[in-house]
Amino acid sequence: MEKPPHSQGPCGVLVVDKPVGMISKDVSRWLSKRIGSKVKMGHAGTLDPAAEGVLPILLGKATRLQDQLLDLPKTYECDLRLGSETDSLDLDGEVVKEMPFSHVTRQALEEASQTLVGKQQQTPPIYSAVKFKGKPLYFYARNGRADEIDLDALARSVEIYEFKILEFSGQIVTFRLRCSKGTYVRVAAKTLAEKLGTCGTITRLCRSESSGVDREHAFTLEEIENFLEKSGKLREPLLIPMESLDLGLDSLPIEDSRSIARLKSGQKIWLEDGLAAVRGSKLGELIGNRTQEKLLLLDKHGRAFGLGLGHLKPDGLQVEMKRSLL
């Protein structure tokens, strides 16, 4: 009898609504105590103690999707208080600058925010987890060694897809930022304030979307605790199966067990009927190109068994598996 995939222990993504005061590893430790330390676990994007919101916890074979999930956009909703700036750019730091802000208007905010949309180089703040010689930058900051770091040399390429002003009270700016991985929201907020001739500090930072899941589909620790007490194990609807995730990939069903076996052994397969499976999809637009596109490979049960690459030609589809999910 064919053994159903993903049958050994929890496998999928648990989307946690992380509270303020915990780091991402705290959430992982909390969960390990309840489901067992032997369950393989990871997370798609960290959140520092001052931040709250969506924290996807990857369990079992789903940890192999970490890179794919990290590449997906993230959305944040934040409050920026104008007029003062701390060394950490949030409420955890000491005030290092104060500037007038009464001249700032809603229109000026909206115009300045739009200048920050697009691809750009961003320098990490000294209070961040970026590593330098094996230690996070905040280690140097907290030990009075910040002058050892050339922050400009650590600049990275990021992209801001949306910067929308939601509310403005005269001092508190509430905004939504949708961005690529690696974007520092506090730096974006600092830059916004500087464009308006003032300074500012983040007073609330909430990640409202990550890995294709928004906050309304995330679960609090209390909800997870109650679910485990009643059911005894993680399962749907708390646990999202790999094939149900919005990975930003085309899915390709492969029902023939021999073809799946060949893929698992590292061989490429040719699907003459592969055109029908992907026509009209993102991959279908690549007919005639030599560009390869990532695929989520599904078996006859509709379950994900691998991440693959597809090369589409007018007469068929060549497929290879790059990473097993079994």
The DSSP result for 83-136, as a single string, is: TEEETTSBTTS-EEEE---TT--HHHHHHHHHTT-EEEEEPPPSSS--EETTEE
Check residue 150 and give its pLDDT: 85
- Name the band, by pLDDT with cuts 50, 70 and 90, for residue 148: confident
Report percent pLDDT > 90 for the chain. 62
Query: Strand, coil or helix: what is 6?
Result: coil
Report which residue type is found at 186. Answer: R
CA-to-CA distance for 315 and 75, rounded, in angstroms?
40
The mean pLDDT value for 207-220 works out to 94
126 vs 316: which has the higher pLDDT: 126
Alpha-helical regions (H) of the chain: 24-35, 66-70, 106-114, 137-142, 185-195, 221-231, 257-264, 274-278
- Name the band, by pLDDT with cuts 50, 70 and 90, for residue 147: confident
Per-residue pLDDT of 22-47, as tens digits, reads: 988 999 999 999 998 899 999 888 88
CB 325 within 8 Å of CB 307: yes
CB 58 within 8 Å of CB 6: no
In the chain, residues under CATH classification 3.30.2350.10 are 12-71+213-244, 74-207
Check residue 184 and give its pLDDT: 94
CA-to-CA distance for 292 and 249, rounded, in angstroms?
12
Closest residue by Cα to residue 42 from 10, 74, 20, 80:
10
User: What homologous superfamily does CATH list for 74-207?
Assistant: Pseudouridine synthase (3.30.2350.10)
CB 263 within 8 Å of CB 320: yes
- Name the band, by pLDDT with cuts 50, 70 and 90, for residue 4: very low
Q: Which residues contact 170 (CB under 8 A, 6 or more apart)?
A: 102
Report which residue type is found at 28. Answer: S
The mean pLDDT value for 95-113 works out to 97
Per-residue pLDDT of 46-83, as tens digits, reads: 888 889 999 999 999 999 999 999 999 999 999 999 99
275 Ramachandran zone, left/alpha/beta (phi>0; psi -120 to 50): alpha
Check residue 263 and give its pLDDT: 95
The winner for highest mean pLDDT among 86-100, 144-158, 267-281 is: 86-100
The mean pLDDT value for 174-195 works out to 96
Check residue 142 and give its pLDDT: 83
Class of domain 250-324: mainly beta
CA-to-CA distance for 14 and 43, rounded, in angstroms?
9
- Active-site option among 48, 79, 90, 299: 48
CA-to-CA distance for 43 and 32, rounded, in angstroms?
13
Check residue 274 and give its pLDDT: 54
Check residue 292 and give its pLDDT: 72
The label of the residue with tokens 């993102």 reads 282
For residue 284, is pLDDT > 80? no
Check residue 108 and give its pLDDT: 98
Q: What is the token pair recorded at 105?
A: 């208007």
Q: What is the token pair recorded at 75?
A: 């959305």
Check residue 135 and give its pLDDT: 84
Check residue 109 and give its pLDDT: 98
CA-to-CA distance for 251 and 257, rounded, in angstroms?
17
Other beta carbons less than 10 A from residue 17's beta carbon:
20
- Name the band, by pLDDT with cuts 50, 70 and 90, for residue 1: very low
In CATH terms, the fold of domain 12-71+213-244 is Pseudouridine synthase (3.30.2350)
> Can 152 be counted among the known catalytic residues?
no
- Average model confidence (pLDDT) across the chain: 89
Check residue 218 and give its pLDDT: 96
